[in-house]
Structure 1
Amino acid sequence: MSSVNQATRIDEGKLNAFVGQMLGDLGGASSVAMVRMGDALGLYKALHTNGPMTSAELASTAKVDPRYLREWLSNQASSNYLSYDAASAKFALPPEQAMVFAIPDSPVYLMGGFDLMAAMLENQPKVQAAFKSGGGVAWGDQAGCMFCAVARFFRPGYHNNIVSTWLPALGGDVMKKLEAGANVADVGCGHGWSTVLMAKAFPKSRFVGFDFHPGSIADAKAHAETHGASANTRFEVGLAKDYPGKDFDLVTCFDCLHDMGDPAGAAAHIRQSLKDDGTWMICEPIAGDRLEQNLNPVGRLYYAASTMICVPTSLSQEVGTALGAQAGEARLREVILKGGFKSVRRATETPFNMILEARP
């Protein structure tokens, strides 16, 4: 190291610290496959249901090969994903880790995030080519599991916030309208989890979910049927700039405005589709207006997703504004006001989202 230090004046302390960071990053990257197998094989669920088990006990319960399982369990214990008691030779899923790996309705359930990381890696060749061409990668052309991964990733946040926190944070009488019976359009609904959650909470209201991806609309219809929300929901393939309807009391956009090719055009159409006393609720990733405000763990993940998913999707569409997942409130406000809305305010926020309310 001494010759290297003399030539380039490397600070060995900084180098060792950075290598330590890289070991952590590589460990996290290696966890994508390990965690997804644990989920797919029911290993987390078995530990959550049955409590601490030896490797042999878990292998028998989950019906997996004991030798493979021993190696997987060792990795999980060294990752602090599972605990290990040397005296009893038993592995356990602590309650805090269970909220992340084994409880789908938990607000911090992150299995969808691991699926999303795998989809992003699968998407790399297409996005890498787009770096050279400057073109986009259409939503329908991205990695095959991207759509289900995105839906699974966002669902816990929607489940724990839309009805209980986000909708009540809107001004005026939005909640009263929903309880009495409102017309609602969920634009960019994807697999329809947001639409279904609202429809079940407000059975007197009528909900229509629009998305430009036919495959997602098919899944949304299936989700509505499975979860008993078909009576007051319907789903249609439609663009944010030309979906039908002129009398909506509420329009919602969950984590999709920044993906649109022409978000200002979408805002203008949404404005025209609302009643004069209607409301547009926009859920977007949390972000500051300057890069230095987003140099944190949440921003790190969002910038990666923006590079691999959001910007390529927008650039594949008409206009190709490419707001990105870290556009920030000021830029979003500019787009919304350009669409003809008179007021925009931040209604509420979480560590991962900001909820904007726009009114005509």
Structure 2
Amino acid sequence: MSELNEAALNELVGRVLGDLGGAVSVPLVRIGDALGLYATLKEIGPAKADELAEAAGCAPRYVREWLAAQAASGYVHHEQGRFSLTPEQSLVFAAPDSPVNLIGAFDTAAAMAENQPKVQAAFKTGRGVAWGDQAGCMFCAVARLFRPGYVNALVQDWLPALDGVVDKLKNGAKVADVGCGHGLSTILMAQAFPASRFTGYDFHPGSIAAATAHVQAHGLTNVHFEVGRAQDFEGRDFDFITCFDCLHDMGDPNGAAAHIRRALKNGGTWMVVEPMAGDTLEENINPVGRLYYSASTMICVPTSLAQETGLALGAQAGEQRLSDVIRSGGFTHVRRAAQTPLNMILEATNLGSPSTTRRTRNLGR
């Protein structure tokens, strides 16, 4: 046994204590969001604890303790007995459309903890945990987690980074959003491009019901949602197909790629949005990789293993592995069109017909 390095031990203990502080903050942050404490503090601050409690309609003793915990975490500002949110804290906790709003991440962490018994059992059996069997409202949490990125980048940055897609959407395109979840990505595109027609597909009926309710609330007439799997959804001759943060969750992503290729018109484009990752573990040993590997263990890998072949790419599959999957479906051109600290945006195209592409690949063998 190697000699104990006390400095390394102290560093590790300090890091773990920091992690535990974050972990026990999860329910407190969610309470603050659910009861409007952050939003109210943003509006009335600086405020004493009793003032915030009265404005938010909460019991003062609980609010006082909650504020103390938030101040100790650095989530709210405390000075001379009054509490407030700095502009930076407001962006993270009290601005739903902020690109750095992270409330959805806390919701996802809570759902992951609730999901532990099912995933723990799957460790012994090797089986999956189906998306519809995930604990709590995992679907709601994940939708909220991805919302800030989609709201702030999808129409503004990601679509313009694709070759000729925005012009097609402006002129009127037929679009499929595969693995649409609660439909936020679909609705954002439909709002931005009223001349185009959008269909959202997801294999989870509950998510399609939620997406349908959302589109009805928005009063949009150029979008609808259907239950459908990525490898056999109905519909053909699409100009543009999208997959947002879901290809790595699929049991048969190769089959999905092939079906999507067949469903596209010649000259059509497939946009694949995936978690940012390098191609090796060493490249992903960083704060983003840490979050994604943990979520992948608790959500993505179990979801994939519960389906068909259960390829289980994982959330940190990396660009090379994802590109290989995309090309397996008959796409000849794959490039990274854009990126954020959390996502990579891949563009896949093929000017040849699917049947011609298959013959060419067979001849090549």
Q: TM-score, length-normalised on structure 2?
A: 0.95
1:198-237 mapped onto 2 (5 Å cutoff): 198-229=189-220, 231-237=221-227
How big is each residue's C-alpha offset from its partner over 1:64-85, in whole Å with a ceiling of 9 and x where there is no partner? 1111111111011111111111
Instruction: Give how far 1:46 is off.
Output: 0.2
Query: Partner amino acid for 2:56?
Result: A
The question of 1:320 aligning with 2:310 is answered yes
Pair 1:28-2:22 in alignment: yes
1:22 deviation in Å? Answer: 1.0
Residue 55 of structure 1, aligned match among 46, 49, 57: 49
Aligned-partner SS, 2:115: helix
Q: Does 1:16 align with 2:10?
A: yes
**What is the DSSP-based 3-state SS (H/G/I as helix, E as strand, rest coil) of the residue aligned with 1:53?**
coil
Residue 349 of structure 1 is matched in structure 2 by: 339
Q: CA deviation at 1:301?
A: 0.3
Q: Displacement of 1:15 after TM fit?
A: 1.0
- List structure 1 runs of 4+ shifted beyond 6 angstroms: none
1:329 maps to a residue whose letter is E
Q: Residue 233 of structure 2 aligns to a residue in which SS?
A: coil
Q: CA offset at residue 12 of structure 1?
A: 1.3
Separation in 1, partners of 2:188, 2:2: 58
1:14 positional shift: 1.2
Taking the TM superposition and a 5 Å limit, the aligned residue runs for 1:154-169 are 154-169=146-161
RMSD: 0.8
Q: How many angstroms apart in 2 are the aligned matches of 1:338 and 1:69? A: 55
- Secondary structure of the equivalent of 2:95? coil
How much does 1:51 deviate?
A: 2.1
Q: 1:265 aligns with which of 242, 252, 255?
A: 255
Distance 1:129 1:36 in 2: 27
Give the equivalent residue in structure 2 for 1:3.
Answer: none
Correspondences of 1:178-189 after superposition (within 5 Å): 178-189=169-180
1:292 equivalent to 2:282? Answer yes
| Structure 2 Cα separation of the partners of residues 259 and 321 of structure 1 | 9
Give, in angstroms, the shift of residue 312 of structure 1: 0.3
Which stretches in structure 1 are left out of the alignment for 5+ residues?
1-6
**What percentage of residue pairs aligned between the two structures are identical?**
67
Superposed, 1:131-150 pairs within 5 Å as 131-150=123-142
Name the residue aligned to 1:4: none
Q: Does 1:74 align with 2:58?
A: no
SS of structure 2 residue aligned to 1:279: strand
TM-score, normalised to structure 1, is 0.96
Gaps of 5+ in 2: 351-365
Do structure 1's residue 98 and structure 2's residue 120 form an aligned pair? Answer: no
What are the Cα deviations for residues 318-342 of structure 1, in whole angstroms up to 9, with x where unaligned? Answer: 0100000000000001111111111
Q: Deviations over 1:224-278 (max 9, x none)?
A: 112232x000000000011111110000000000000000000000000000010
Cα distance in 1, alignment partners of residues 5 and 313 from structure 2: 38
CA separation in 2, counterparts of 1:268 and 1:138? 23
Rounded Cα–Cα distance in structure 1 between residues aligned with 2:108 and 2:275: 16
Quick one: which of 261, 268, 272 aligns to 1:278?
Answer: 268
**What is the letter of the counterpart of residue 310 of structure 2?**
G
C-alpha distance in structure 1 between counterparts of 2:274 and 2:44, whole Å:
38
Q: Quote the residue 2:182 is aligned against.
A: 191
